[in-house]
Chains A and B, each alone.
Chain A
């Protein structure tokens, strides 16, 4: 007859029960097998069959071990005593965790983690890469060009406007060809008390006087500097504000110069090349940062442009028509259409500038066509009509932009990356919690039942972590290009932009902005109060129990 006690002891392994219960349990289970074996022999089975029948009663010894421990001790088997597939004693669990961590060595993997919407602050700025120390180091290196470029980046993206202004001063002093950054500095700092944008605009005018953009900034500065004081009393709805603005020579003259300037350029190409170079120099090969940087191009106030265009169309043009001066009216309309064409010719990747350009041209052409027909200039009217048809086609394309974006494979890849990324975050948090519990329990096995429970139940996390990392890596890999491979902002927006939109399709901003940024301390306060309340209730229950025990 087999030694059943020995068999059970070997199969069950270590069972750390208190008060010597392990021997009792082994003996009792051995008797169960022995009885089954004897019954089988009595039924006429041979020795081997009887042994098999005995052993068949307990198929999953690890599960039995765990259940026996839980039943006897009223708590889970200590996590370091477990032998399950995801127990910390198993080497594969630690190998899986190491593999998951090894993914961090891959640059593409690090890049995709940065693309995930984990932070409410998503902008082109990087505090450590552009810290005062970092800037000093670049200055000491003696590379003036590099220092000037980095300062220009700081001027364009530092959220601290005062610092941005100082950086812009230094950058332009070092390299006068960086004067175009004055556009951003002139326009984005109205909140600084006593700030005067005019010196910056004058500097830009001296550097690039043929650019309509400069005059639009000038017109904007003349309005925005004291917007509340002078203009708030006029309503923009019935043209009242427009008529008031036209009466202001500083605004009207700047607008006239803008509309008659030979070209319009908001320096998006220069800005893209500068940002790409600086990000690479600072070791930030991140398309998400470059895209956000490129998208932060300083636009002029298009509302003011629309007001001046309406002034030319509705007031100058119509009044000239009424006066019987069709040539003057046509000149006014043509001025609006030409300005729209200049906006269209600019290389900005931003769709709304082109949409706005189309609106200006369409409005101007709508006025020109009937006037030309009335004047019998049918040939010219036909040319304008064909231009109008082309504008309408552009507008149609613009309306379909978001649809096109959503249909692109990159957008869908972005959504897959988002799902993989969220599961990775979940598994990483669970694995971190598991690791903390397991590490503490390895020092003190009886530290906490809750920790033991967590350590036992979160064992799947380190196993699933490398799988989700692999999925995330594979889904991003086709888009993992260096920013040096993007030749222009348009190229970046067309490929990486769709992916980025897909990743951001789940709006986490309300959670991040409201709950993390604003509700963290209130939530912590509520949790502490809840804990105190629970403790008080527990104390009350305990004191009542003691009183009742005393009465009995």
Chain B
């Protein structure tokens, strides 16, 4: 049950996490994976086999754009947010705040 819930939560919010990381600056896939693990202090980890298909899906939808750029003496494919991606991120953030706020209000309420 717990594992399933984790999986569902991760699946539902994976797009939000990637879009949020790309809001700051353009990043490549390896960096995105590492950043998610680091910033969540290991609680959220993306399986690499899921990360790349997700990035390609976001690119197909026009939310991110990938381009080859030189980095550290080699070519890297960097992803950056598009205008549509920014709008989507804003919408997803609003939904997430509403949802997490609602869950917090229920889970943290104390009855007198």
Residues on A facing B (Cβ under 8 Å) = 24-25, 27-29, 31-32, 35-36, 57-60, 63-64, 67-68, 70-74
Contact of A72 with B48 in the complex, beta carbons under 8 Å: no
Contact of B56 with A31 in the complex, beta carbons under 8 Å: no
Proximity string of chain B (66-77) to chain A, C-beta cutoff 8 Å, 1 when within and 0 when not:
001000001111
Q: List 5 A-B contacts (CB under 8 A).
A: A25-B52, A27-B77, A64-B53, A71-B53, A73-B60
- Give 7 A-B pairs besides A71-B60, A72-B60, A73-B60 with Cβ atoms closer than 8 angstroms: A27-B75, A29-B52, A32-B48, A32-B52, A36-B30, A59-B49, A68-B53
Complex alpha-carbon distance, A73 and B76, angstroms = 22
Q: Which residues of A contact B60 (CB under 8 A)?
A: 71-74
Proximity string of chain B (44-55) to chain A, C-beta cutoff 8 Å, 1 when within and 0 when not:
000011101111
Q: Which residues of B contact A60 (CB under 8 A)?
A: 49
Q: Who on chain B is nearest to A29 by CB?
A: B52
Q: Which of A24, A32, A59, A64 has the most CB of B within 10 A?
A: A32
Does B11 have its Cβ within 8 Å of any Cβ on chain A? no
Does B57 have its Cβ within 8 Å of any Cβ on chain A? yes
Contact of B29 with A32 in the complex, beta carbons under 8 Å: yes
Q: Which of B28, B33, B48 has the most CB of A within 10 A?
A: B48
Complex alpha-carbon distance, A57 and B52, angstroms = 12
Complex alpha-carbon distance, A74 and B50, angstroms = 16
Contact of A63 with B49 in the complex, beta carbons under 8 Å: yes
Complex alpha-carbon distance, A27 and B53, angstroms = 14
Q: Who on chain A is nearest to B50 by CB?
A: A67
Q: Which residues of A contact B55 (CB under 8 A)?
A: 71
Tell me the interface secondary structure of chain B in the complex.
helix
Complex alpha-carbon distance, A378 and B17, angstroms = 103
Complex alpha-carbon distance, A67 and B47, angstroms = 13
Residues on B facing A (Cβ under 8 Å) = 28-30, 33, 48-50, 52-57, 59-60, 68, 74-77
Q: Which residues of A contact B54 (CB under 8 A)?
A: 71
Q: Who on chain B is nearest to A72 by CB?
A: B56
Contact of A58 with B48 in the complex, beta carbons under 8 Å: yes
Q: Which residues of A contact B56 (CB under 8 A)?
A: 25, 68, 71-72
Contact of A31 with B49 in the complex, beta carbons under 8 Å: no
Contact of B30 with A32 in the complex, beta carbons under 8 Å: yes
Complex alpha-carbon distance, A223 and B74, angstroms = 104
Complex alpha-carbon distance, A60 and B49, angstroms = 8
Q: Which residues of B contact A24 (CB under 8 A)?
A: 68, 77
Q: Which residues of B contact A63 (CB under 8 A)?
A: 49
| Cross-interface CB contact of A57 among B49, B75, B76, cutoff 8 Å | B49
Q: Who on chain B is nearest to A70 by CB?
A: B53
Q: Which residues of A contact B77 (CB under 8 A)?
A: 24, 27-28, 31
Q: Who on chain B is nearest to A61 by CB?
A: B49
Q: How far is the CB of B67 from chain A (nearest CB, A)?
A: 10
Known contacts: A71-B54, A72-B56, A74-B60. The answer to whether A57 contacts B74 by CB under 8 A is no
Q: Who on chain B is nearest to A32 by CB?
A: B30
Complex alpha-carbon distance, A28 and B52, angstroms = 9
Q: Who on chain A is nearest to B74 by CB?
A: A31
Q: How far is the CB of A347 from chain B (nearest CB, A)?
A: 66
Known contacts: A71-B56, A72-B60, A74-B60. The answer to whether A28 contacts B29 by CB under 8 A is yes
Q: Which of B54, B57, B59 has the most CB of A within 10 A?
A: B57
Complex alpha-carbon distance, A459 and B107, angstroms = 46
Contact of B74 with A64 in the complex, beta carbons under 8 Å: no
Q: Which residues of B contact A70 (CB under 8 A)?
A: 53
Complex alpha-carbon distance, A68 and B59, angstroms = 12
Q: Which residues of B contact A36 (CB under 8 A)?
A: 30, 48
Q: Which residues of B contact A35 (CB under 8 A)?
A: 30
Q: Who on chain A is nearest to B56 by CB?
A: A71
Q: How far is the CB of A3 from chain B (nearest CB, A)?
A: 14
Complex alpha-carbon distance, A70 and B53, angstroms = 8
Q: Which 7 A-B pairs have the closest CB atoms?
A: A71-B56, A67-B53, A71-B53, A71-B57, A35-B30, A57-B48, A72-B56
Q: Which residues of A contact B30 (CB under 8 A)?
A: 31-32, 35-36
